[in-house]
Amino acid sequence: MDTDLVRLAQNGDKGAFTSLAAARADRFLAASHRILRDLSLAEDATQQALLSIWRDLPQLRDPARFDAWSYRLLVRACYAEAGQTRRWAPNIRLLPADEPIAADELSSVVNRDQLDRGFRRISLDHRTVVVLHHYLDLPLDQVAEALGIPVGTVASRLHYAMRALRAALDADARSTTRKVAQ
């Protein structure tokens, strides 16, 4: 754990902060890229998050909570970036995921575009939970801490998001099947 570095950085040690930031920048950028689905916005969010960390670090009471706290600032920066670019657009209510789909059908049509489309269809809240849990591998309680919401809400969002992604994949698969049939 970097608690010593955190304490030094809290007292204005730029070298210590540089070490902390360098160890996390790639991960921050990758996570924010996946949340925002836009590299330029992700770079802005990452930069803003790192600067916020530096600026507010003296106010972190427990250096051992640094990682969860820094993820919280990253998520806030992502929301801020997303808020600046939100556009009024028809929301897509996803199809129910009750109907099972064949694994071979799923595997044959799944590709990056389909996943990307499905991921863009779910809300920022849901994308964030999916990325924190399935990409950063944070357990649900740490996701909850990073987001400042109850664990139950995290679980609910994750459940919804995965169900919605499955439904989106299913819808795309069916669309592809129909096009092929035509």
Partner 1 sequence: MSTDRDVTRIVRSWLHEDAHEDADRVLNSVLDQLETTTQRRPWWPARRFLSMNNNARIALAAAAVVVVGLIGYELLIASNVGGPPPAPSSTPSAPTASELPALPMPGARVSSAGEYGWTGELGSVAGMHNVVVDDGTSAFRQTQIVFAVENDCFGSPGGSTPTTVTAAGFHGLYVEAYEPPDERIVMFTEQGLETTGAYALAIGDRTLCVYLSWDPTTTAAELAAARAVIESLRAEPVGATSIRITFTLEAGWDTG
Residues within the interface to partner 1 (CB under 8 A): 12, 14, 17-18, 21-22, 25-26, 28-30, 33-34, 39, 42-43, 46-47, 50-51, 54-59, 61, 72, 75-76, 79-80, 83-88, 90-93, 100-103, 106, 110, 112, 115, 123, 125-126, 128, 130-131, 134-135, 146-149, 157, 160, 162-163, 165-166, 169
Other beta carbons less than 10 A from residue 59's beta carbon? 8
C-beta of 181: minimal distance to partner 1 in Å?
Answer: 20
Nearer to partner 1, 36 or 182 (CB): 36
Nearer to partner 1, 90 or 178 (CB): 90
Q: Quote the tokens at residue 26.
A: 């790639």
CA distance 133 to 9: 28
Structure-token match 């106010």, residue found: 59
C-beta of 86: minimal distance to partner 1 in Å?
Answer: 3
Count helices and strands (H / E) in the chain: 9, 0
C-beta of 180: minimal distance to partner 1 in Å?
Answer: 19
Nearer to partner 1, 89 or 180 (CB): 89
Nearer to partner 1, 121 or 179 (CB): 121
Report yes or no: 147 and 129 within 8 Å, Cβ to Cβ. Answer: yes
Kindly provide the b/e burial profile for residues 88-117, where b requires at least 16 CB atoms within 10 angstroms of the residue's own CB. Answer: eeeeeebeebeeebeeeebeebeeeebeee
The H-or-E segment that residue 19 falls in is helix 14-36
Nearer to partner 1, 157 or 171 (CB): 157
